[in-house]
Amino acid sequence: MSGLLGPAEIRELAARLQLRPTKTLGQNFMHDPNTVRRIVRDAELDPQECVLEIGPGLGSLTLGLLSAGARVTAVEIDPRLAQLLPDTVHRQLPERAAALSVVSADALQLPELPGPTPTALVANLPYNVAVPVLLRLLAALPDLRHGLVLVQLEVADRLAAQPGSRVYGAPSAKLAYYGPARRVGVVSRSVFWPVPNVESGLVAFRRDGLDRGPRDRVFAVIDNAFAQRRKMLRSALAGLFGSAAAAAAALERAGVAPTARGETVDIEGFGRIAAELPAA
């Protein structure tokens, strides 16, 4: 891959903008070309696939994706960075500049996207909103087939956790609603400027297209199941079903023990429980 950004280029671009990275926007900029190459490789993109990138920042990963032949739609919340990105690509990788579209917007309030519909998500997600952004995109963009996201290591472990794990919770189950996820590696804090206080992890996911019931109903069950982790499900779901006794009966019909806790139930189990909810 040619035209990638190293530490000197990152500093020069930041100086041009008189940029002071902020924790509020999750601004930690990757400056290691080898890490970029690894992320692009592990994303397993099809030739000329249209990729959605959230928070491209100064463009390190954007350039890697473009170098690999992908079309990229980049959504950047900081208007200064959104304005600079096309110029950076023109200078570093002019032959691929036409394959980039930049949208200046908050990914949590995703506007209509230009160009081809993205089928993959590859992004260094801002730590403080990584989970809601990921789930928002999967809900809003049904054509997203797969993705690879870089998030805080603790969040990566939660997203990829399986039932029975001590870190399995609502984020794990909600991502599993769309399909399987797995942690595929750790990324050192030293490849970012400024250096964050935590390590990062890569999570790969793939939409499997299975019908697990209406999302709102399944997510309501998940939220209530994990609202108080130590509660048995018959108590945790009493509000949804009207009483603990009604919840216990519904759980029995769904093939889930009323004395079980949310941390032991897989996404198929949550789907069966949701199917027992009273009609809205």
Q: What is the CATH number of the domain that holds 235?
A: 1.10.8.100
Q: CA quadruple 91, 93, 94, 96: dihedral positive or negative?
A: negative
Nearest CA among 237, 220, 278, 263 for reference residue 245: 237
Shared domain for 94 and 189, answered yes or no, is yes
Looking at residue 1, what is its pLDDT? 60
The arithmetic mean of pLDDT across residues 68-97, rounded, is: 96
Nearest CA among 154, 167, 157, 158 for reference residue 197: 154
The arithmetic mean of pLDDT across residues 20-39, rounded, is: 83
What distance in Å separates the CA atoms of residue 134 and residue 132, rounded to the nearest whole number? 6
Q: CA quadruple 57, 58, 61, 66: dihedral positive or negative?
A: positive
What distance in Å separates the CA atoms of residue 81 and residue 10, rounded to the nearest whole number? 12
Domain of residue 220, residue span: 215-275
Residue 20: is it exposed, middle or buried by C-beta count within 10 angstroms (0-12/13-18/19+)? exposed
Looking at residue 150, what is its pLDDT? 97
The 10s digit of each residue's pLDDT in 141-181 is 999 999 999 999 999 999 999 999 999 999 999 999 999 99
Q: Considering its fold, how many domains does the chain have in total?
A: 2
> Which CATH number covers residue 152?
3.40.50.150
The 10s digit of each residue's pLDDT in 231-243 is 999 999 999 999 9
Looking at residue 113, what is its pLDDT? 93
Nearest CA among 181, 175, 255, 174 for reference residue 219: 174
Shared domain for 195 and 66, answered yes or no, is yes
Which pLDDT band, with edges at 50, 70 and 90, does 28 fall under?
confident
What distance in Å separates the CA atoms of residue 22 and residue 33, rounded to the nearest whole number? 23
Looking at residue 18, what is its pLDDT? 85
Which pLDDT band, with edges at 50, 70 and 90, does 194 fall under?
confident
Shared domain for 69 and 138, answered yes or no, is yes
Which pLDDT band, with edges at 50, 70 and 90, does 273 fall under?
very high
Report yes or no on 146 lying in a domain. yes
Report yes or no on 1 lying in a domain. no
Cβ neighbours of 252 (radius 10 Å) = 13
What distance in Å separates the CA atoms of residue 276 and residue 160, rounded to the nearest whole number? 27
Domain boundary among 162, 181, 206: 206
The arithmetic mean of pLDDT across residues 59-64, rounded, is: 97
Shared domain for 244 and 137, answered yes or no, is no
Q: 259 vs 279, which has greater pLDDT?
A: 259
Q: Which two tokens stand for residue 198?
A: 């935590």
Rounded to whole angstroms, what are the CA distances from 150 to 124, 178, 185? Answer: 5, 18, 9
Shared domain for 116 and 48, answered yes or no, is yes
pTM, entire model:
0.94
Looking at residue 193, what is its pLDDT? 84
Report yes or no on 84 lying in a domain. yes
Q: What percent of the chain has pLDDT over 70?
A: 97
Report yes or no on 2 lying in a domain. no
Does the structure show a pLDDT above 80 at 24? no
What distance in Å separates the CA atoms of residue 243 and residue 105, rounded to the nearest whole number? 43
Number of helices (H), then strands (E), in the chain: 12, 9
Nearest CA among 93, 87, 89 for reference residue 16: 87
Which pLDDT band, with edges at 50, 70 and 90, does 25 fall under?
low
Q: What percent of the chain has pLDDT over 90?
A: 84
The 10s digit of each residue's pLDDT in 95-137 is 999 999 999 999 999 888 998 999 999 999 988 899 999 999 9
177-210 CB burial, b ≥16 within 10 A, e <16: bbbebebbbebeeebbbeeeeeebbbbbbebeee
Residue 153: is it exposed, middle or buried by C-beta count within 10 angstroms (0-12/13-18/19+)? middle
Helix, strand, coil shares of the chain as percentages rounded to 5? 45, 15, 35
Which pLDDT band, with edges at 50, 70 and 90, does 226 fall under?
very high
Shared domain for 155 and 82, answered yes or no, is yes
